[in-house]
Structure 1
């Protein structure tokens, strides 16, 4: 969301879409959890405050890695951007999948899944500890094979912006596009806390890697999925939302006997 912060018009479009979605919920007589939406905005404020420091540290690391890369693809060549799109999408798929399968990464990513309602403000409910959870290593690998840091950063930013309108129930299925693209329908299944839909649909812009690697699940035709965390989180406190899974993780690590057992907790499944 850093890219959106640098371009106020993007934020303006997001706010307009969120307002339109709110009116859609009101007109159809549905429930809209304004308290949860406000909590998402509070989490986003904290994320925007922390993100510049994270960006500085990652820029230094990625710049250093770019100097180690055996080749450097030209940033002014459209082929670098075309290949970069697929490379970033591939890296994002595995980063996202690992964020659901490895508890250390999940401690940050759980923040995004903590809302029990899928509405547009929940798209910006993002964790504050992305540097500590080390998910950026997946994208650092792209730097080492020759993609310029600028290309990776811009394409990843666009990837995340694309996902903003996926967090809604106001858009139904999109026909043939569902075969290739990540859509609101696919992303609703991803956010479900029901057993049959846990750990699915990890793509950013595309859904093809989920289909290829067996992690695709179609949203049920009747809808009605339950969203949020399996264990639930009844809090509108942004600090608690951002930190709750780390506290659970450290509690379980402290209860484990020995270093190897604690590592198994940290690197095991959530």
Structure 2
């Protein structure tokens, strides 16, 4: 695996920054229509800091993952030629694996401890796509690409397709693009992804797609955006901080506190770490379980 692949998204940074600048300019005169899309310096700078921290962690993790992915490729099931049909197969297989990674990131607390960072802003605009956690290598994101490599795609091919998927997903973090006609039936769109980022009880844990929304429709996690139910962004127990370290580690702190609480059985401790987020015995997660009001108190 070449290190250059780890920097594919950084190479696209000028494109992303150009679209962010355009969106910020567009919202200057139309912000009243999109109050939760407005750019603010604290939110935007925290997004940028989290992105840089994430990229640094990914670069360090790549040093180890090179050997892990190469070892899995050495026992691959098939030798897959580089053809048009293998490209389509790689695209579909990676997108399928991404769906399960993303769904797991919401339903397994160990993974949610990383992914909550991405959902922690009460704004949604293109810069929100940069809001990532440096702890993804610890929570196991890399595990979900092992099947792609085991089938017979090279680590370079697998990682490149993951990077291209993430590049696509940058463009769906916006409120200024409404419905996209027939594309809504097949692809993940800004409308579908707004639902995913919403903390309204009707929208929580829906629309996990990467590029193809068909997986959500097949596995029963699809909900269409409703005009009568505007999206409210953030998490149920909102963390009202722009400190990147607090945003990165607050759920890890809460998770370990719950797992180490006195009086829990071994099963209870394991559920606090690896069960659904709402099953853990903390005040915040009790609020999720009972669908508490959206203005839940912060830590």
TM-score (norm 2): 0.85
Counterpart mapping for 1:10-25 below 5 A: 10-25=12-27
Question: Is 1:54 equivalent to 2:56 in the alignment?
Answer: no
Unaligned runs of 5+ in 2: 1-5, 278-299
Question: Which of residues 3, 14, 30 in structure 1 aligns to 2:8?
Answer: 3
User: Per-residue deviation at 1:223?
Assistant: 5.8
SS at match of 1:97: helix
Counterpart mapping for 1:72-221 below 5 A: 72-74=79-81, 76-221=82-227
If asked which structure has higher relative contact order (CA below 8 Å, sep 6+), I would say: 1
Quick one: distance in 2 between partners of 1:50 and 1:113?
19
Question: Is 1:43 equivalent to 2:50 in the alignment?
Answer: yes
Task: Tell whether the 8 Å contact from 2:98 to 2:210 is kept in structure 1 after alignment.
Answer: yes
Task: Tell whether the 8 Å contact from 1:108 to 1:130 is kept in structure 2 after alignment.
Answer: yes
Quick one: distance in 2 between partners of 1:29 and 1:258?
51
SS at match of 1:4: helix
1:260 matched residue in structure 2: 267
Task: Tell whether the 8 Å contact from 1:2 to 1:157 is kept in structure 2 after alignment.
Answer: no
Quick one: distance in 2 between partners of 1:102 and 1:113?
15
User: Per-residue deviation at 1:259?
Assistant: 3.0
Task: Tell whether the 8 Å contact from 1:81 to 1:151 is kept in structure 2 after alignment.
Answer: no
- Once the two structures are superposed, residues 13-69 of structure 1 have per-residue CA deviations (whole angstroms, 9 ceiling, x without a partner) of 111111111112211133423311111111111112221111222221111111122
> Runs of 4 or more off by more than 4 Å in structure 1?
none
Quick one: distance in 2 between partners of 1:207 and 1:238?
31
SS at match of 1:110: helix
User: Per-residue deviation at 1:143?
Assistant: 1.4
Change beyond 3 A, Cα 1:47–1:173: same
Aligned CA-pair RMSD: 1.4
- Once the two structures are superposed, residues 79-124 of structure 1 have per-residue CA deviations (whole angstroms, 9 ceiling, x without a partner) of 2211000000000001100110000010111111011111111101
Change beyond 3 A, Cα 1:224–1:58: same
SS at match of 2:123: coil
* Count of aligned residue pairs for this structure pair: 266
Task: Tell whether the 8 Å contact from 2:56 to 2:134 is kept in structure 1 after alignment.
Answer: no
Quick one: distance in 2 between partners of 1:85 and 1:48?
23
2:238 matched residue in structure 1: 232
Task: Tell whether the 8 Å contact from 1:192 to 1:226 is kept in structure 2 after alignment.
Answer: yes
Unaligned runs of 5+ in 1: none
- Once the two structures are superposed, residues 122-152 of structure 1 have per-residue CA deviations (whole angstroms, 9 ceiling, x without a partner) of 1011111111111221211221122221111
Task: Tell whether the 8 Å contact from 2:111 to 2:140 is kept in structure 1 after alignment.
Answer: yes
